[in-house]
């Protein structure tokens, strides 16, 4: 029969207190403007806290509790309860977020096994909105879905519009929501809406290209790097230019190297130019932006090479040099209104590379530092698994912390033919432990 998720209710959750009149027109930042109009999906899985099976009465009580605490949270994250008025303004009219409740016709173990086997292709069933939905710009900016399994386990799926928030902003929202739900004796989370002060929005004279996912059969695998193996890779990647590479730099360079090796094998030995796009978080890099600055502040820079056999330390040096150049020169251009056309041109060039068959383009993103998912205890205990769900786009690699922060998980999405070579790479398997097929 397969796994079925039946939506039993869909309700609007409005802020617990109305947004003041002077805050009703929220001007988004330039970085929000150039972000794609898609939903960022996330999911948190909780095992049953007791032996009892699914209880509709208790489930209803828990759902009601989460809606009430979300209402309080939305009063602080008030733009998420509004709707886009035009390309640069959100009308904070308190229309609210959407909250869905659902029942699943199986046990959590069929999605996430006791041994950590995760069937990632099923996670989209527990997320309330399609990634490419036009509603990310024309409709609700935040949706949550609470799905109850027969065993008593729970999935909390979330969709947040990328036009207003990045992963760190979603993490801040989740933290605030947890605090309000369980009544923790800690100060509430107050986001800072200061990004537009640094990157003011502009009136574009050009239209941003629409995001359309490349059509190709892809598959995702999860590889776990323990801290001891990461330490080995960091030592191996060190060089005069970068004597102490970060774990993200070392892992990014290593996985990029493995991807290039795969491409060369499947191209009968020929070498394609290879480009990697890596996101960098601007929080705490530019005053006054800090950890609680809300909006899109994670933007990509690129590194490239025409060689497929560069050593790990050479790739790390390349990545560090390109990042430093990006932070020194390109970010400053983003802060000036005159750079809007250039930004759009650069954006279009990046999209062209994603679709190109002449260039291997790999998109890397790290959620190692700023996603506090494994602290998100809504009363069911610590999550069994948490993170961003995958987008079926080729050549995407996402790094996240493991549940106990004793390593890093790499979620690698490649075309099926490439994955067949990549997942048996001996060097890769000497550092990473592959998990069950996703």
CB neighbourhood size of 150 (10 A): 15
Across 184-198, 211-225, 316-330, 361-375, least confident range = 211-225
- The dihedrals phi and psi of 31, each to the nearest 5 degrees, come to -70, -30
Rounded to whole angstroms, the Cα distance separating 273 from 117 reads 35
Question: Which range, 33-47, 87-101, 116-130, has the best average confidence (pLDDT)?
Answer: 87-101
Give pLDDT, residue 393. 80
Whole-prediction pTM:
0.91
Hey, which residues does 25 pair with through a beta bridge?
A: 91
Signed CA dihedral, 283, 286, 292, 293: sign only: negative
- Is the distance from CB of 68 to CB of 122 less than 8 angstroms? no
Question: Which range, 91-100, 172-181, 380-389, 429-438, has the best average confidence (pLDDT)?
Answer: 91-100
CA-based angle 84:161:197, to the nearest 5? 65
Residue range 138-177, pLDDT digits in tens: 999 999 999 999 999 999 999 999 999 999 999 999 999 9
pLDDT interval class at 298 (50, 70, 90): confident
Residue range 80-99, pLDDT digits in tens: 999 999 999 999 999 999 99
**Measured torsion, CA atoms of residues 303, 306, 312, 313, in degrees rounded to the nearest 10:** -70
Give pLDDT, residue 351. 67
Residue range 408-423, pLDDT digits in tens: 999 999 999 999 999 9
Q: Exposed/middle/buried for 194, CB within 10 Å: 0-12, 13-18, 19+? A: middle
Asked if pLDDT for residue 395 goes beyond 90, the answer is yes
377 as an active site residue: the answer is yes
Across 299-303, 305-309, 316-320, least confident range = 305-309
Q: What is the mean pLDDT of residues 256-269?
A: 93
Structure letter (DSSP) for residue 270: -
Does residue 431 come out as left (phi exceeding 0), alpha (psi in the -120 to 50 range) or beta?
alpha
Structure letter (DSSP) for residue 145: E
First to last CA, the chain: 20
Residue range 183-216, pLDDT digits in tens: 877 788 899 999 999 888 887 654 454 455 555 6
Rounded to whole angstroms, the Cα distance separating 266 from 262 reads 6
Signed CA dihedral, 413, 368, 184, 143: sign only: negative
Element (H, E) at 253: helix 247-266
Residue ranges covered by each domain of the chain: 5-198, 218-435
Give pLDDT, residue 76. 97
3-class SS at 105? coil
Say which of 32, 162, 360, 418 is annotated catalytic: 162
Range 262-272 burial, b when 16+ CB lie within 10 A, else e = bbbeeeeeeeb
- Is the distance from CB of 120 to CB of 411 less than 8 angstroms? yes
Across 103-107, 142-146, 298-302, 412-416, least confident range = 298-302
- Is the distance from CB of 52 to CB of 63 less than 8 angstroms? no
Give pLDDT, residue 371. 54
Give pLDDT, residue 320. 96
Give pLDDT, residue 103. 96
pLDDT interval class at 368 (50, 70, 90): confident
pLDDT interval class at 346 (50, 70, 90): low
Element (H, E) at 316: helix 312-325
- Is the distance from CB of 289 to CB of 325 less than 8 angstroms? no
Asked if pLDDT for residue 219 goes beyond 60, the answer is yes
Asked if pLDDT for residue 363 goes beyond 60, the answer is yes
Say which of 94, 194, 281, 377 is annotated catalytic: 377
Rounded to whole angstroms, the Cα distance separating 316 from 64 reads 49
Hey, which residues does 260 pair with through a beta bridge?
A: none
Half-sphere exposure of 244 (CA within 13 A, CB side): 0
Give pLDDT, residue 243. 97
Residue of 142 and 286 predicted with greater confidence? 142
Q: DSSP letter string over 274-304?
A: EEEEEEEE-TTTSTT--TTB-S--EEEEEEE
| Pairing verdict, β 396-401 and 407-415 | antiparallel
Q: Write the class of the CATH domain 5-198.
A: alpha beta
Choose among 415, 393, 437, 421: nearest CA to 217: 415
336 as an active site residue: the answer is no
For residue 61, give both structure tokens: 């009580």
Residue range 43-59, pLDDT digits in tens: 999 998 776 688 889 89
Q: Write the class of the CATH domain 218-435.
A: alpha beta
Give pLDDT, residue 296. 95
Rounded to whole angstroms, the Cα distance separating 390 from 386 reads 12
For residue 150, give both structure tokens: 């027969």
Asked if pLDDT for residue 37 goes beyond 80, the answer is yes
Residue for token digits 């035009």? 86
Rounded to whole angstroms, the Cα distance separating 153 from 188 reads 28
The yes-or-no answer to whether 5-198 and 218-435 have a common fold is yes
């Amino acid at each position: 029969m397969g796994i079925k998720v039946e939506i039993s209710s869909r309700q609007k959750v409005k802020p617990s207190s109305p947004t003041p009149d002077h805050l009703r027109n929220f001007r988004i930042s330039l970085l929000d403007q150039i972000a794609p109009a898609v939903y960022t999906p996330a999911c948190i899985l909780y095992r049953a806290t007791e032996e009892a099976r699914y209880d509709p009465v208790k489930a209803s009580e828990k759902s009601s509790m989460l809606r009430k605490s979300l209402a309080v949270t939305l009063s602080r994250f008030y733009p998420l309860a509004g709707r886009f008025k035009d390309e640069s303004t959100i009308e904070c009219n308190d229309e609210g977020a959407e909250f869905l409740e659902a029942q699943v016709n199986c046990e959590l173990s069929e999605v996430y096994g006791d041994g950590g086997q995760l069937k990632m292709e099923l996670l989209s069933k527990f997320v309330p909105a399609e990634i490419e939905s036009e509603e990310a710009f024309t409709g609700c900016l935040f949706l949550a879905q609470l799905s109850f399994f027969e065993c008593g386990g729970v999935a909390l799926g979330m969709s947040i519009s990328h036009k207003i928030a990045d992963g760190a902003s979603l993490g801040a929202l989740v933290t605030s929501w947890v605090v309000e739900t369980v009544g923790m004796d800690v100060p509430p989370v107050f986001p800072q809406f200061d990004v537009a002060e640094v990157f003011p929005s502009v009136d574009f004279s050009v239209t941003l290209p629409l995001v359309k996912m490349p059509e190709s059969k892809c598959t995702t695998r999860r590889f776990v790097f323990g801290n001891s193996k990461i330490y080995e890779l960091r030592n191996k990647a060190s060089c005069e230019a970068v004597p102490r590479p970060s774990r993200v730099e070392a892992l990014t360079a290593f996985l990029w190297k493995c991807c290039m090796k795969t491409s060369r094998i499947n191209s009968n030995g020929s070498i394609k130019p290879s480009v990697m796009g890596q996101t960098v978080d601007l929080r705490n890099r530019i005053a006054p932006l800090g950890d609680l600055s809300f909006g899109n502040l994670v933007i990509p820079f690129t590194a490239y090479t025409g060689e497929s056999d560069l050593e790990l330390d050479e790739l790390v040096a390349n990545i560090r040099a390109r990042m430093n150049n990006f932070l020194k020169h390109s970010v400053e251009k983003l802060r000036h209104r005159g750079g809007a056309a250039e930004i759009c041109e650069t954006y279009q060039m990046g999209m062209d590379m994603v679709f190109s068959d002449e260039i291997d383009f790999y998109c890397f993103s790290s959620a190692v530092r700023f996603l506090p998912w494994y602290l998100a205890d809504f009363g069911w205990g610590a999550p069994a698994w948490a993170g961003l769900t995958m987008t079926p786009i080729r050549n995407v690699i996402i790094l996240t912390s493991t549940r106990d922060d004793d390593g890093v998980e790499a979620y690698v999405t490649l075309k099926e033919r490439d994955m067949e070579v990549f997942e048996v790479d001996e060097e890769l398997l000497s550092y990473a432990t592959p998990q069950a097929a996703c």
